Amino acid sequence: MANSAEKNIEFIYPDNAVIMAPLSGFTDIAFRRSLYRQGCEFAFCEMVDVSSLVYCKEKIHPMLIRGEDEKFLGCQLVGSDLEHTKIALEKLNDYNFDVVDLNLGCPVPKVAKKCAGAELGRKIDQALEVFSLFGKYSKFPISAKIRILNKEDVTPTLQLVAGLIELGARAITIHGRVKEAYYSGDVDFEQIRECVKLADNRCQIIANGGIMNYQKYAEIREKTSCKAVMVARGAMGNPYIFSELKNPQEFQEITTEQLIADMRQHIEELIELYGEESGFKISRKILHDYLKGRGFRSSCRALASQVANRNDFEEFLDYTSKNRVI
């Protein structure tokens, strides 16, 4: 744990931490282990809807299990129903997490239509009412993930950040784009920097948005003054981003042999987690992400879409190993 010398606030993450964001449908334990092998130290399980945890705990339970090898694990909740949030937080207390986070940044329509995620973040008073339950009912340290609220005016974002700090947030991750931008366009470094000034060591501000390589990582750190960052889409099919950000001078292009070996291990762990039928079905999107932007023929991606059993998987790996053009 890192401490603020000025105000003696115990932060959740040390300086220079690179945190893996909670990604719905991706950051299961097999995905997380692929990251740990490349140097990731801080990760979250998949984002969990509070109502799903209330009504379908048996289905959600496997998502919340912490591996014995996991030194750190966070959980992020999304939702706006007060009673469901209270119950979900109480249920989470039966598990083992290092932090519980409220999502106020997810922009996808199926979340927004429930007045959750980024849509809830825009309703500052309501968002703070939901977050107040985290301090009351969670036994774990609490944090939040938000987006900037207005491209032209930092005031609403500062208001939300101030309210979260007042309610006990130990960390706030800020995605430097508004809801409508989703994941594209420029990241507003200045607004994140203003939030760092506002927090003044009372809370850890974590920068997020567009971190796809070391250049973007160095830029967001320099221009926001954040000492920690959160990676999201940049790690999809690219667990190596953690190696790159930790040791940029030594990082080298991933060889075909290494990629094949890592895909094999990742998918084997998926099968162990979900069984062969479900595991191979899930594996298709994972394999597509590994191939993306690495110079493999389009026929490799087509073959990945057809993987349904071990024979298909071995055929895909063999074919892919021979069809990288750059």
Task: Give the per-residue pLDDT at 2.
Answer: 41
DSSP letter for each residue of 263-275:
HHHHHHHHHHHH-
Q: What tokens were used for 270?
A: 């998926």
Q: State pLDDT tens for residues 65-101.
A: 999 999 999 999 999 999 999 999 999 999 999 999 9
pLDDT of residue 8: 53
Q: Which domains does the chain have, with CATH numbers?
A: 18-246 (3.20.20.70), 256-321 (1.10.1200)
Residue 135 pairs in a beta bridge with none
Phi/psi at 287 (nearest 5 deg)?
-65, -40
The residue ranges of the chain whose pLDDT is under 70 are: 1-8
Alpha helices for 24-154 (secondary structure H): 29-36, 50-55, 57-64, 82-92, 109-112, 118-122, 124-137
